[in-house]
Amino acid sequence: MRGPVPIRRTTEIEEITNLYFIHPLASRLVPFFAQMRFTPNAVSVTGMLFGILSAFAYFRYSDVRFAMTGFALMIAWHVMDGADGQLARLTQTYSYFGKVLDGISDNVTFLAVYTALAISLSHEYGDWMYALVALSAVCHAIQSASYEAQRQEYEYWGWGRKAQEPPPRNSLERDRDGPPVIRWLFDFLHRLFFVGLSFPTAGTAKKFRETMTCALQAEPEHAALIRQRYREMLAPQLRSWSILSANYRTLGIFISALFKAPEYYFGFEIIGFSAALALLIRRQNASREVLLSRLQLQSSGAPVAGKTL
């Protein structure tokens, strides 16, 4: 097998615990998985099983031993979640089906943990806890989808990397992805959780995309400079969005469980993370507007010099 290759995600917008802990740990496992001929999908499913097991542990969160076990199992899920993508890029077996499976495993993990905590909390506080956790789960889904949408926007406009789309109906990849019903279900879940729920981030998206497209098409020789200016302006904003990542939710669940008060975590997700999302969208749109004004000034005849754009 060839030597090391760049198999990690875009580092300038990566969440810090992923950058210095989760992904380096995952990268140590990837050569072993490749040697054992594990598929990325098998790694994703294994990670999802760790997540489901963490739910069983968190069901007894009042016992600190089970709370710590639940946290350790969720960390194991994070590591596997990082390893599946690295393994796919290393072995060049990246597929749309695998991407969707990876996203579904994230949702299944949190759904299992939230359900376990809701059942446990209902025994102490009553059935209204189900409503609290359900509302929290909806907020979580919207916040996570919005964060992922922003990452994909950055990858496209900053680096020209398109998000992977479903393969053609009769392609070999589709044939390998299993029965049509399974493919349809996975496509539906992906569009629901990663497209439909990202509506809060729409904002100036349409106007911004149109202006960026015009700027790139009008002066393709300056496309690299335009994308560079985009990265310089938007990368700091995207790093702030990492507060909505799964890593901090995992940490929040663990801390609240240690204090035997996971209900406060769900309350914070509804109020605190939602407020953070609103603030992040406002800051993101402000940065986009600044970049838009510069792009429009350029399209009106101003030269595309470093100082201008």
Q: How many CB atoms lie within 10 A of CB 21?
A: 16
Question: Residue 279 has what pLDDT?
Answer: 95
C-alpha 67/C-alpha 113 separation (Å) is: 11
Give the 3-state secondary structure of residue 302.
Answer: coil
Residue identified by tokens 């209900």 is 263
Give the 3-state secondary structure of residue 219.
Answer: coil
Tens-digit pLDDT profile for residues 122-171 = 999 999 999 999 999 999 999 998 898 888 889 999 998 876 555 555 55
Q: Tokens for 201?
A: 């981030």
Q: Tokens for 87?
A: 């393994």
Burial class (CB in 10 A: 0-12, 13-18, 19+), 223: middle
C-alpha 33/C-alpha 42 separation (Å) is: 10
How far the first Cα of the chain sits from its last, in Å, is 44
DSSP 171: S
The ranges assigned to domains in the chain are 11-141+171-299
Tens-digit pLDDT profile for residues 59-90 = 999 999 999 999 999 999 999 999 998 998 88
pTM: 0.85
**∠ CA 231-236-242, rounded to 5°:** 115
Q: Among the CATH numbers 3.30.300.30, 1.20.120.1760, 1.10.3080.10, 2.60.40.1760, which is that of 11-141+171-299?
A: 1.20.120.1760
